[in-house]
A = this chain, B = another copy of it.
Amino acid sequence: MAWAPKKLKCAELLSCKHTDKLHVKCTVTATDGNLDQTKEIQQVSLRPLPGKLIADLNALVDRNTFGDVAILVGDQRFLAYKGVLSVRSSGFAAMFNHPMQENIENSVTIDDVEPEVFKELLRYIYTDEVTCLETMAFKLYATADKYALSTLKSICRCHILKTLSLDTGIKTLMLGDTHSDRDMKEYTLQFLSRSGVAGKLTSTADWKKMFLTHPHLVNETFDALARKVASTEE
């Protein structure tokens, strides 16, 4: 169909009456049935289908039906592959390279992690992805540190520091201290020394708690604030 519309000017349209008619004249051209197939053929895509490794491995974690070791966490039982755990985490590699009873029986009990946190750890190990940072970055950070998953640890650290607030500051300082994470501690001390934060700190419940359990961190926060004051006065 040859399509060549005549352009209508705005003034022409506005001057139309309700009873006016618009005539549309079309020229339709039919082929003789022998469509040129070369154009269709040239459209064969030379771009491969998108990969789906991550989606497939995520399914492996969610199905929980394949594995050569059962990991008992709280009231849940996770099936996993020793090989995948070992190449991903030197912590698990050490566990499975020794003839421990757990290794021989292909059953491991982990009692210092919550099941939902362990499942996210497993998901990260299989897929490099983390889906629950909003709710479990702190717990996941601690577990990643335990199993020597440095990249996951850095992902959690970045999330925690990017979302640092008066509510999470002290908790973050204590986390960094417990896990000897100098970067986390220094960044947080810097944050806690800010005007607008430092002034509200001593009245929070977390500060009162830290005062009793981690008095050295009170001193470190005080020192950071003193440095801040000194640098402002220079």
A binding-site residues for B, Cβ under 8 Å: 34, 36-38, 40-42, 44-53, 56-57, 59-60, 63, 65-68, 81-84, 86-88, 127-128, 150-151, 154-155, 157-158, 161-162, 183-184, 186-187, 189-190, 227-228, 230-231, 234
B residues less than 8 Å from A67 (CB atoms): 83
Q: A37-B227, A38-B190 are in contact. Are A60 and B47 (CB under 8 A)?
A: no
Which residues of B sit under 8 angstroms from A82, Cβ to Cβ? 66
CB of A39, distance to nearest CB on chain B (Å)? 9
Q: How many subunits of this chain does the assembly comprise?
A: 2
Chain B residues within an 8 Å CB radius of A49: 150-151, 154-155
Given the known interface contacts A81-B81, A87-B59, A187-B41, the answer about A47 and B158 at a Cβ–Cβ threshold of 8 Å is yes
- A46 to B155: give the CA distance in the assembly, Å: 9
A227: contacting residue among B38, B45, B157, CB under 8 A: B38
When A87-B60, A151-B49 are in contact, do A183 and B38 touch as well, CB less than 8 Å? no
Indicate if the CB atoms of B57 and A151 lie closer than 8 Å.
Answer: no
The residue from B41, B45, B46, B66 contacting A190, defined by CB atoms under 8 A apart:
B41
A15 and B88 alpha carbons, distance in the complex (Å): 65
Please determine whether A81 and B66 come into contact, CB atoms closer than 8 angstroms: yes
**What are 13 A-B pairs at a CB distance below 8 A?**
A34-B230, A42-B190, A44-B161, A44-B183, A46-B162, A49-B150, A51-B151, A56-B87, A60-B83, A60-B84, A65-B83, A66-B81, A81-B84
Closest chain-B Cβ to A135's Cβ sits at a distance in Å of 18
